Structure 1
Amino acid sequence: MTRLFKNVVLPLAVVAIAAAVSLAIISSRPELPRRESIEVVPLVEVVTVQPGPVAVTIESRGIVTPRRSIDLVSEVSGRVDWVDSGFLQGEAVSEGQLLLRIDPIDYEVALSTAEASLASAELALAEVKALVKKAAIAEAQAGVTAARDRLRQAKVDLANTEIRAPFNAVVDIKQVDVGQYVTAGSSLMKLLSTDVAEVRLPLLASDVPYVDYGQYDDGTWPQIMLTASFGNIKHSWRARLARLERRVDEETRVFFVVAQVDEPYSRSLHSHILALGLFVEASFAGIAIDDAVKIPRSALHQSSYVYLVENGSLQRREVTLRRRESDSVIVSGLEAGDLLVLTRLDLMVDGMPVRMLD
C-alpha cells in the first residue's frame, strides 16, 4: 500500500496541484487591451484634364549643305598664266568673278585664222555670184556657213580661257594654280553655292503626318529656327520648311524634310554666318492634334490605359496613344473634368480606395 501511494497516488496529486496552480495564474492575469486595425488609404496626385488641340513638338538635327554643288572643268587646254588672289580653298567668290585664266595665245591665233577664213569664203561667194555660176554658188554658200561656225567656235574657245564663278559660291576644293598645264575636261575646282543653304532633317514615320511644309497660297512658308552652339554661345537662324523628300533612307528607314536658309553668308540677314558643313539642331511646332491631352509618360500604363479618381477610388480608363514625345505622351479618350492620377503606385487596381493630394 505504501509503495502504491509513493509510485502512483503521490505523482498524480503533484500533477493535479500544479495544473490547478497554473490555471489559477492564467485566470488571474489581466486581459490585454485590443488594438483596432487601421486601414491605410494611399495618397495620390491628380490633375483635372481638359481635352483640346495639343501642339506637337518635333525635334531633329542635320548638317548644312549647299543647294548646288559642281565640279568646274576646263573646256580648253593650256597653261594657267593667272590666278585671282581671292581664289583660295574655303573662300567665298561672287557670280561672274574671274578666278583664273589659261594662256589665250593659241586661241587668239585660232580666232584670227577663223576670221580670215570667213573673209575668204565670203569673197569666193561674191565672185561666183558675179559670174552667175549657179553650180558653184551652193558650194560657196556652204563654205561661208562653215567659216562662220569655225569663227563662232574660235570665239567660244577664247572666252573659255577665262574661268569665272557661275554663281555666288564657296571654293570647296582648289585643284590648279599658276603655271599648271590643264587639258580640256580636267577638273579645276569644286564650288558650293551660297545663294540658298539646305538642311536635311531626319524624321521618323510617326512624325511625318504632323509636319507642315511647302509654300502657302499667300506666298509664305512654314518657319522654323535652326540653332548651333559655339562654346557657351548659341546662334540661331530662321529657315523655311521647303519640301519633304519623296523617298526613305534604305538603312535608317527615316524620311527627310528639307529646311532652306536664304543667303547664309549674308551679315545683313543673319547675326552670324551659317557656314556650310555646320551641325545644327531644329525644334519646331507641328500640326496640332485635336481633342487630345498631353500627359506625363508615367501616367500612361502599358501604352493603353490610365487611372482616374471617381468617388474616392481608382477607375481604369482605356485611351488611344496618339504620339510619344521626350517626357510626355499625347492621348485621346479622356473627358473634360476627369481627375487623372499622376502618381504611380506599386499596386494599382480598379476600385482601389485612394485619397487625393490637396
Structure 2
Amino acid sequence: MKKKLRYVLPPALVAASIIVVVFLASNRPDPPERDPVETAMMVDTIAAETAGEHFTVEAQGTVQPRTQTTLVPEVSGKVNRIAENFVAGGFFRAGEVLVEIDPSDYQTAVKQAQADLAAARARLADEQSRSDQARRDWQRLHGDDREPSELVLRIPQLEQAKASVLAAEAALDGARRDLERTRISLPYDGMVRSRSVDIGQYVGVGTTLGVAFAVDEAEVRLSLPDRDLAFLDLPQPGREAGPRPTVRFFGDVSGQRGSWTGEIVRTEGVIEESTRLTYAVARIQDPYGLLGEERQVALPMGTYVRADIQGRSAAGLIELPRETLREGDRLFIADADNRLDVRHVDVVRSTAERVYLADSVEPGERVITTAIAAPIPGTRLNVRESPSVEPELRILPADESDIAATTEAEQP
C-alpha cells in the first residue's frame, strides 16, 4: 500500500495544483480600465524676429598704415642731430626735423655756388657791354645802311656768358637743395616704427635711417569669399564714385576690448587664384586718436581685428540662430496648441552663426532650439522658457493655461 502511494501521490498533487491554478485564473476579476495618458516633450524655444535693416558680413584682417615711409638720406655725411621723438613709437608732426646730417660741407658748397653765379653774372655784364659798344662803333662807321654780323656784335660770346649764368644758377639751386636735404623730415603727422641710425654715424645716399608711418588713416585688407559678395554693395575697381559700406571693427588691445568704425573705400579688383577670395580695403580715420578723434582704446598698427560689414537690405526677412535650422532646411515650431510643427523653410542666407529666412516664419512664432531625435508632427510639447541664444532675440513665454493643461494631462 505504501509503495502504491509513493507512485500515485505526486502526480495527483501536480494535477490538483494545475486544476486550482486554472480555476483561479478563469475566475480572476478584470483590471479597472484607465484612459491613456499623452506625455509632453519638454522643449526650449525662442521667438522668431525680423532681421535688421541690413545684412552683416563678417571678415577679418590686420591693421596696416595707409602711408609708410622708409627714411633714406639723399646726401651723405655724419649724423649731427637726432630728434628726441625719433625712436620706435615716437610721435612727430609734419615738417619736424627727425635727423640732421652735418651741413658744413653743403653750406660751403652753397657759398661757392653763389660766388660762381656772381662771377658768371659779371662776365655776362661785361660781354653785354662789349656787344653794345660794338654796335655803336659799327653804326658810327657804317651808319644804318648795313646790319653788322653776329661776330662783330660778339653774339656767341654773349650767349656763352648767358649760359654760364644759367649753369651757375642751377648749381646754386642744387647746392641749396643738398643743404636742405641734410635736414630730414616727413610731410605728415606720423609715428616712428623703427630707427637704425644714431648720432655720429656716417651715412651715405640710400642708407636706411628708419621707418615711419602716417597716423591720419589706417587700412585693413579684408578677405571676402564669393558667397558673401552677393550681400554687399562694394566700390567698383577704378571708379571714384560708388557705395562705401560702413564697417565696425572689434579687437583686443592690451587686454582691453575695443571697437572702431570705418568704411570700405576700394576693392583690389582681382580674385586670389589660390584661395578664390576677393579683397576689400577698409579705412579708419585717426586710429591712435592723436589728431582729435575720440578714442577710448587706440588702434595700433598690426592689430588683428574682426570686421562686421554693413551689407544690402535685409528688410522683410526673419533672422534666427544657425543651430535652429535642421537638416533639410527645416525648422521645429511650437504652434499655438503646443504641438510640434515641422516646417520646411526658404533659406536666403546662412552663416556659421545666423540664418535668414524668407516667407517661411512669422515674427513671434516660437522656434524650438532643443534637439529632437525623432520629430513627429503633432507631438505634444511642454514649452519651457529658456534664455535666447543671441541677446537680440527675445524669449516668447508659453501661455500659462497651456502649461496647466499639460500638467493635468501628465497626471495619471
TM-score of the pair, normalised by structure 1: 0.78
Q: Which runs of structure 2 are paired with 1:262-301 in the superposition (5 Å)?
A: 262=286, 264-266=288-290, 268-270=292-294, 271-283=296-308, 285-301=310-326
Name the SS of the counterpart of 2:159 in structure 1.
helix
Shift of 1:180: 0.9
With 37-46 and 258-267 compared, the bigger mean Cα shift is at: 37-46
Shift of 1:156: 0.9
CA–CA distance in structure 2, aligned partners of residues 345 and 272 of structure 1: 45
Q: In 2 relative to 1, CA 91–285 (structure 1 residues): closer, same or farther, beyond 3 Å?
A: same
Shift of 1:61: 4.2
Q: In 2 relative to 1, CA 124–257 (structure 1 residues): closer, same or farther, beyond 3 Å?
A: closer
Shift of 1:356: 6.0
Cα deviation per residue 1:285-325 (whole Å; 9 max; x = unaligned)? Answer: 54342332122334322252224467876554332222334
For 2:144, the equivalent position in structure 1 comes to none
Residue 360 of structure 2 aligns with an amino acid whose one-letter code is L
For 1:121, the equivalent position in structure 2 comes to 120
2:219 and 2:284 in contact (8 A); partners too: yes
Q: Which runs of structure 2 are paired with 1:182-221 in the superposition (5 Å)?
A: 182-211=203-232
User: Does residue 1:319 correspond to 2:345, yes or no?
Assistant: yes
Residue 246 of structure 1 aligns with an amino acid whose one-letter code is G
CA–CA distance in structure 2, aligned partners of residues 296 and 118 of structure 1: 80
Q: Which runs of structure 2 are paired with 1:89-238 in the superposition (5 Å)?
A: 89-129=88-128, 130-131=130-131, 132-211=153-232, 222=246, 224=248, 226-231=250-255, 233-238=256-261
Name the SS of the counterpart of 1:246 in structure 2.
strand
With 98-107 and 137-146 compared, the bigger mean Cα shift is at: 137-146
User: Does residue 1:345 correspond to 2:372, yes or no?
Assistant: yes
Shift of 1:68: 0.5
User: Does residue 1:304 correspond to 2:329, yes or no?
Assistant: yes
1:243 and 1:259 in contact (8 A); partners too: no
For 2:401, the equivalent position in structure 1 comes to none
User: Does residue 1:80 correspond to 2:85, yes or no?
Assistant: no
CA–CA distance in structure 2, aligned partners of residues 202 and 82 of structure 1: 44
Shift of 1:331: 1.7
Name the SS of the counterpart of 1:185 in structure 2.
coil
Residue 142 of structure 1 aligns with an amino acid whose one-letter code is A
Cα deviation per residue 1:42-61 (whole Å; 9 max; x = unaligned)? Answer: 43556675666665344444
Q: In 2 relative to 1, CA 143–21 (structure 1 residues): closer, same or farther, beyond 3 Å?
A: closer
Shift of 1:160: 0.9
* Aligned residue pairs, count: 347
2:70 and 2:209 in contact (8 A); partners too: yes
User: What is the identity percentage for the equivalent residue pairs of Structure 1 and Structure 2?
Assistant: 26
CA–CA distance in structure 2, aligned partners of residues 156 and 17 of structure 1: 134
CA RMSD of aligned residues (A): 3.8
CA–CA distance in structure 2, aligned partners of residues 108 and 259 of structure 1: 43
For 2:402, the equivalent position in structure 1 comes to none
Q: In 2 relative to 1, CA 152–25 (structure 1 residues): closer, same or farther, beyond 3 Å?
A: closer
For 2:36, the equivalent position in structure 1 comes to 38
1:242 and 1:260 in contact (8 A); partners too: no
Shift of 1:134: 1.9
Shift of 1:194: 1.1
Q: In 2 relative to 1, CA 16–159 (structure 1 residues): closer, same or farther, beyond 3 Å?
A: same
Shift of 1:146: 1.8
Q: In 2 relative to 1, CA 294–28 (structure 1 residues): closer, same or farther, beyond 3 Å?
A: same
CA–CA distance in structure 2, aligned partners of residues 177 and 211 of structure 1: 50
2:245 and 2:311 in contact (8 A); partners too: no
Shift of 1:74: 0.7
Cα deviation per residue 1:54-103 (whole Å; 9 max; x = unaligned)? Answer: 65344444433211001111111111122223322221111111122212
User: Does residue 1:27 correspond to 2:48, yes or no?
Assistant: no
TM-score of the pair, normalised by structure 2: 0.69
CA–CA distance in structure 2, aligned partners of residues 353 and 127 of structure 1: 116
Shift of 1:32: 5.0
With 25-34 and 304-313 compared, the bigger mean Cα shift is at: 304-313
With 52-61 and 115-124 compared, the bigger mean Cα shift is at: 52-61
Q: In 2 relative to 1, CA 81–24 (structure 1 residues): closer, same or farther, beyond 3 Å?
A: closer
Name the SS of the counterpart of 2:126 in structure 1.
helix
For 1:239, the equivalent position in structure 2 comes to 262
Q: Which runs of structure 2 are paired with 1:31-70 in the superposition (5 Å)?
A: 31-33=29-31, 38=36, 40-43=38-41, 49=48, 55-70=54-69
Cα deviation per residue 1:316-355 (whole Å; 9 max; x = unaligned)? Answer: 4332222334544222231537664444321114x44434
CA–CA distance in structure 2, aligned partners of residues 275 and 78 of structure 1: 34
Unaligned runs of 5+ in 1: 1-5
Cα deviation per residue 1:95-142 (whole Å; 9 max; x = unaligned)? Answer: 111122212222222222222222222233333332321232333322
2:253 and 2:299 in contact (8 A); partners too: no
CA–CA distance in structure 1, aligned partners of residues 117 and 22 of structure 2: 143
